[in-house]
Amino acid sequence: MSLKSLISQIQTYDPDAEVELLERCYRFAQSAHKGQRRKSGQPYFTHCVKTAKILAELRLDTHTICAGLMHDVLEDTGVTREEMQVRFGTNIANLVEGVTKIGQYKLSVSTPTPTTTNTVEERVYRQRQAETYRKLLLATAEDMRVILIKLADRLHNMETLKFLSSEKCQRIAKETLEIYAPIAHRLGIWRIMSRLEDLAFKHLYPVEYRKIAQLLNQKLAEREAYCDKMVKQIRQELEKRNIFADVHGRTKHIYSIYQKMQQKGTPFSEIRDLVGLRILVKNDAECYTALGALHHKWNYHPNRLRDWIGQPKKNGYQSLHTTILDDGKPVEIQIRSYQMHKVAEDGIAAHWSYKEGLPTSKQGRSIFASYKQILEDIQETQDSPHQFIASMKLELFQDEVYVFSPKGDLFTLPAGATVIDFAYKIHTDVGHTCVGAEVNGSVAPIRRVLQNGDQVRIRTQTNGKPSRSWLPYVKTATARSKIKHWFREKDIADALELGKKFLTAELRVSYLNARDYLNSPKLLDIAKQLKLKNLDELFVRIGNGNESATQVVNLLKPEVPKHETETVEEVECTQKTASAPAIQLENDIDLGMMRIMKCCNPIPGDQVVGYLTRGRGVSVHRAGCIRILDEPERLLSVNWLEKSSSENGNHPPDIYPVKIFVECSDRPGMLGAITTAIAKYKVNIRSGTFQPSTERLDPTASDYLTIDVTGAEQLEEVMQAIRRLKGVERVTRKF
């Protein structure tokens, strides 16, 4: 397309378009891409012009089309954003930069998603994918025109995809089908959505695509003849009521046929609605008159009648849908005004202002606000990467249901939403205190899936509260996020109180007054040593078992430094044999008794440090132990003593008890597999507490095992053996 043709196309809907600006952008992009070629062999600039043409077909503003012409300049040439801003202004520079950022997000990978669940690779993949989706949503929410340019860019790339490698074709096609086509649907841009879906389907499933295309062509003449007959009959019926409408046939696009075959298991030969009819009239009133005329002439399916005029979809779509029966053959019909048809084809772009570059109609602003609200709700969710991605796809890409409050207020929810989702849609407090519902006047459980047209009354109780059992039934990111937030707050409050109780009890055992210490500056100093912000965080960590109340009290005791208050039980050497600890000071210095400490339980192979106490020799700790005070003058370099084979003789090696934590699937035989793996290394299991997890909803269990090992090397071998077991998620050593 030449510059003259592009300007002519834009002036058909915007006579006041900034022609001089368009000319400058056109020539600048043409010069910047000079010498560059696409894989097809065509000059690269042809892609830029095609992108601008698609944007012009959507009747977008001049700045958006200018950005479309230059959308690859920042990424593929030496031009900087600052230079572009000076030449063409901040608005266009921001749009081009936004499209460039989206182009850098790899929304899918060339290799298949790992199939083994709960592996490190799977978790890393999900985390990266979730972060990429978050960035895409942020870029989209900042300026809607950015995603419109990207959709136009992606559409032309899909039309020329065959020139790329097979691997790259698959990645881009999958990305298009899973991300960009649904975004076009959410924005109501049907003409782009259907083309993206068919092109992506053609590359992802070429055999299925060709099969459906061939089947469509086989009886094309027969379908066209039948369509012409129905068009003629419908026009006659409408003219009897003085309605002169544009009636024409429409063929389902190939991917929608494939979806119907897959979702409903319907063979192609039994699909009766391959061809539908569309009736375009002047206004809303004629839509309903036309519907009455059809239902007077033909029988129809009552359960397939949809009024999207009285209740527009969230993306602005309006139309009447009905299915009439012609000699028993179903015929799908859409009835809409010319303006509704424009919105159905172009979505939010149909509400665009050529002057301001923003949606100006009330309906357009509503679509824009609704879309941004969805993005904000998804952004706020604290779900795991897997749940975040599922929430995003549900909120953005699935169909909707429309339900009513008792007062008649209309609420929009994603398909599959339940009473719980509706309660949180009304208000957070309504959701938290929800105990039941009435749906269409009948009592219903809160997990009830809502349908179009349901009228819902939520029943609440003042002392009601959420339940973790709700989480499998909620569908919206908002409801899931609010339920999890409530439990996070509750768990923190419970842990805080429990931590205070543990610390109070430990202070009493040491004959210390709790009132003197629970809010003391010294306790706050200990919290800061642990890199905690305040005392509440310390209490929470004690309550959760992350910090020891005993160790904290030992740090609080005023009599002597903490290491000199250790009991005989606390400092007892952890070696099972009666031999002295296999530790020596650097340069063989003898400072008397050396004790291996139980607070951090060092074993041979660990990096250790000595602490010189007053009158009680040297206590040996693992490096990083929180009980080592910041007193460099009392720290000593110590090493493990290597015993020769002759020195060991026939005596068994020294062994050390070590506690490890194992998190794994809660399935039959799991504990047996773990113990068998340990036994292969001739390691004794001293104790264990295998039990289901209380912190997670999925079927997991955790186990604290105390095992006897000869040193860090053997401990690592045992832990690696456990990690290799199927179903094991995490193995760590307790400090």
Give residue 225's pLDDT: 87
Give residue 563's pLDDT: 41
Instruction: Find all residues with CB under 8 Å of 631, minimum gap 6, and list them.
Output: none
547 a catalytic residue: no
Pick 574 or 154 by higher pLDDT: 154
Give residue 375's pLDDT: 59
Pick 614 or 22 by higher pLDDT: 22
Q: Provide the residue count of the chain.
A: 735
| CB count in 10 Å sphere of residue 231 | 17
CATH code of the domain made up of 656-733: 3.30.70.260
- Checking if the pLDDT of 272 tops 80, the result is no
pLDDT-derived band at 592 (thresholds 50, 70, 90) equals: low
Q: Which among 311, 213, 204, 221 has a CA at the least distance from the CA of 253?
A: 213
Strands (E), 364-419: 400-404, 410-414
Distances in whole angstroms, Cα of residue 397 to Cα of each of 149, 177, 264, 374: 19, 11, 19, 11
- Checking if the pLDDT of 262 tops 90, the result is no
Average pLDDT, the chain: 79
Q: Is 385 helix (H, G, I), strand (E, B) or coil?
A: helix
Active-site residue, from 18, 23, 75, 536: 75
Give residue 174's pLDDT: 87
- Checking if the pLDDT of 501 tops 60, the result is yes
- Checking if the pLDDT of 117 tops 60, the result is no
Domain map (residue ranges) of the chain: 3-204, 213-351, 399-475, 480-558, 560-649, 656-733
75 a catalytic residue: yes
Homologous superfamily (CATH) for 3-204: Hypothetical protein af1432 (1.10.3210.10)
pLDDT in tens, 699-719: 778 778 889 998 889 999 999
Homologous superfamily (CATH) for 399-475: Beta-grasp domain (3.10.20.30)
Give residue 651's pLDDT: 61
The tokens describing 230, both together, are 């129905």
**Nearest-5° angle of CA 378, CA 380, CA 381?**
70
Tell me if 116 sits within 8 A of 94, measured CB to CB: no
Task: HSE, CB side, 13 Å, CA atoms: give it for residue 363.
Answer: 21
- Checking if the pLDDT of 126 tops 70, the result is no
Give residue 522's pLDDT: 84
| Three-state SS annotation for 537-602 | HHHHHHHCCCCCHHHHHHHHCCCCCHHHHCCHHHHCCCCCCCCCCCEEEHHHCCCCCEEECCCCCC
- Average pLDDT of the segment spanning 135-144: 63
CA distance 200 to 245: 35
**Nearest-5° angle of CA 355, CA 358, CA 364?**
125
pLDDT-derived band at 548 (thresholds 50, 70, 90) equals: confident
Distances in whole angstroms, Cα of residue 74 to Cα of each of 36, 144, 240, 249, 260: 14, 20, 60, 44, 42
Q: Which among 234, 275, 242, 240 has a CA at the least distance from the CA of 257?
A: 275
- Checking if the pLDDT of 600 tops 60, the result is yes
CATH 3.30.460.10 fits 213-351, yes or no: yes
The tokens describing 146, both together, are 């950015």
CA distance 148 to 183: 10
Of 39-48, 209-218, 530-539, 634-643, least confident by mean pLDDT is 634-643
Active-site residue, from 18, 76, 377, 663: 76
Buried b / exposed e along 327-345 (16+ C-beta atoms within 10 A): eeeebbbbbbbeebbebbb
- Checking if the pLDDT of 258 tops 60, the result is yes
Pick 270 or 353 by higher pLDDT: 270
Give residue 306's pLDDT: 87
CA distance 530 to 733: 19
CA distance 457 to 478: 19
pLDDT-derived band at 82 (thresholds 50, 70, 90) equals: very high
CA distance 404 to 639: 74
pLDDT in tens, 292-349: 999 999 998 888 888 888 888 777 788 999 999 888 788 889 999 998 888 888 776 6
Distances in whole angstroms, Cα of residue 634 to Cα of each of 179, 561, 582: 61, 12, 21
Strands (E), 121-274: 246-251
**Residue 702: what residue type?**
S
Buried b / exposed e along 121-153 (16+ C-beta atoms within 10 A): ebbebbeebbebbbebbebbbebbbbbbbbbbb
- Average pLDDT of the segment spanning 164-187: 84
